Amino acid sequence: MATPSLFLNKVFKNKAKQQLKYALMLLVVLGQFLAGQTRVAASEMGEIADEQSTMLVDKRTFTVDNFTTFGGKTIKQVKVGWEAYGKLSEEKDNVILITHYFSGTSHAAGKYSVNDATPGYWDGIIGPGKAIDTNTFYVVSVDTLANLNAYDEHVITTGPASINPDTGKPYGLTFPVVTIRDFVNVQKALLESLGIAKLHAVVGPSMGSMQAIDWASAYPDWVPRMISVIGSAESDAWTISALEHWASPIKLDTHFNEGNYYNSTPPTSGLVASLMLITQNALTPEFFNMQQSKLASNAQNDSALEAITNDPTIVKWLRQRAEVRSTKMDANHLLYLVRACQLFMAGHQDSLALGLSNIKAKTLFIPSSSDLLLMPYLSQDAHQQLKSLGRDTHYIELDGSLGHLEGVSNISAQATAIKTFLEKD
């Protein structure tokens, strides 16, 4: 009589098998809290690297003057940070570009110092002898425009929090709307400045997957291989709406003041509420329920019964985590990233079909089967459309129960598939 919900069974099976992983994960997170560490943006998405890197990396700065946006506006000076791992070949033909996720940065692998608690978010697959082998490839990663972590000492970005050279004041909402294409075009300008004219591959998770597939459509002669992890080929109505809920709390905050908060109190409560929702959207019931079981006894919600203004225990945990993350972030930047993702369509043409028809790359789509944010149907759709167009396209899933986060924290589970794909002619 019962019709089992196979998806949810999948999320909730193998609990025993997952226990060790979660115990480790929570230990790392709690350790960071106790140590008073505030730089948990990367750890949120990448704390479980299978092999900790000892590769040391530097942040560099790239500048473009008079950058024209996809929307036709000019940004007088664009400055972004970037990192590279491995060595550029003499022929400059061994470049893999890594494009980062929404709350991520160009710190994809390695450490800035041996004392860093955690390496870059995809350190599990980027490094000497790893799936993206820095003994073979020159791996480049670039901070996006309006990067969320505007106040992270290791992030260099241009966005609403930057000074507008025309006024000497922060842009705020006068900063032009930027798109995934603009992130791509800044990366292309950087690569060209290095004398590079073609990539070996472009690879990215989540918002990074949007950049990767837009690269493949916009500059097909540059991109022979593209890997989209926990991604999509366009933002459908569901995703556009889901993203709007991330923006709402910031716009409602008393201190938002239409984005003009740089000389006063920033809209931190709104930013925190947004991060709380983002964290939930990126995870799964199983993760939250494991967390709760670590937090408290049965009496955990007593204070929430006493007064409407008291938070339930799990909400306190979620809020505290978001508060720590928020200190390096800018609220306006979050709004601009939301909009970039809302406007995303691979190729940025009149239809997705047109955009996909431009792609020449071999493609590999790797969604996470438990993802509740960018669900696997999005990757399936893109894969199927490319297949219909006769392209060489592949599809595999990350099979864990961390939801969207699988694509960052557990990417090593598909290391072999990634390595094999990158070796394809």
Annotated catalytic residues are 206, 371, 404
Cβ closest to its own copies, residue 211 vs residue 232: 232
Amino acid at 18: Q
398 secondary structure, DSSP code: B
The number of beta carbons lying within 10 Å of the beta carbon of residue 370 is: 27
Dihedral sign for Cα 224, 100, 368, 18, please.
positive
305 binds its own copies (CB under 8 A): yes
> What is the x/- site pattern for its own copies, positions 109-138, by CB under 8 A?
------------------------------
Amino acid at 110: G
7 binds its own copies (CB under 8 A): yes
23, 151, 238, 423: residue in contact with its own copies (rule CB under 8 A): 238
In the region spanning residues 59 to 78, those forming contacts with its own copies, defined by CB under 8 A, are 70-71
Length of the chain: 425
Kind of pairing, strands 201-205 and 126-127? Answer: unpaired
Which listed range, 29-37, 100-108, 224-232, 301-309, lies at the site for its own copies (CB under 8 A)? 301-309
391 binds its own copies (CB under 8 A): no
Q: Cα angle vertex 180, ends 217, 342, to 5°?
A: 110
Sort residue 253 into left (φ over 0), alpha (ψ -120 to 50) or beta: beta
240 binds its own copies (CB under 8 A): yes
The Cα 156–Cα 108 span in angstroms is 15
Which listed range, 5-13, 107-115, 135-143, 222-230, lies at the site for its own copies (CB under 8 A)? 5-13
The answer to whether the beta carbons of residues 394 and 31 sit under 8 Å apart is no
Q: Cα angle vertex 154, ends 57, 181, to 5°?
A: 95
In the region spanning residues 187 to 226, those forming contacts with its own copies, defined by CB under 8 A, are none
In the region spanning residues 317 to 376, those forming contacts with its own copies, defined by CB under 8 A, are 318, 335-336, 339, 342-343, 350-351, 367, 369, 372, 375-376
307 binds its own copies (CB under 8 A): yes
With CB under 8 A as the rule, give the number of residues binding its own copies.
75
180, 191, 242, 282: residue in contact with its own copies (rule CB under 8 A): 242
21, 245, 387, 419: residue in contact with its own copies (rule CB under 8 A): 245
44, 123, 152, 253: residue in contact with its own copies (rule CB under 8 A): 253
231 secondary structure, DSSP code: -
285 binds its own copies (CB under 8 A): yes
Cβ closest to its own copies, residue 97 vs residue 250: 250
Cβ closest to its own copies, residue 263 vs residue 298: 298
Q: How far is the CB of 395 from its own copies (least distance, A)?
A: 5
The Cα 320–Cα 304 span in angstroms is 16
270, 347, 355, 407: residue in contact with its own copies (rule CB under 8 A): 270
Could you tell me how far CA 16 lies from the centroid of its own chain? 29
Amino acid at 242: A
Q: How far is the CB of 266 from its own copies (least distance, A)?
A: 13
63, 112, 320, 399: residue in contact with its own copies (rule CB under 8 A): 399
Q: How far is the CB of 1 from its own copies (least distance, A)?
A: 6
122 secondary structure, DSSP code: T
292 binds its own copies (CB under 8 A): yes
**CB-side exposure of 326: number of CA atoms within 13 Å?**
23
Kind of pairing, strands 201-205 and 95-98? Answer: parallel
Q: Which two three-digit tokens encode residue 93?
A: 């033909």
- DSSP 3-state assignment of 98? strand
11 binds its own copies (CB under 8 A): yes
79, 314, 358, 387: residue in contact with its own copies (rule CB under 8 A): 314
1 binds its own copies (CB under 8 A): yes
Which listed range, 55-63, 86-94, 193-201, 395-403, lies at the site for its own copies (CB under 8 A)? 395-403
Q: Cα angle vertex 340, ends 338, 342, to 5°?
A: 65
The Cα 111–Cα 294 span in angstroms is 30
Across-strand partners of 204? Answer: 228
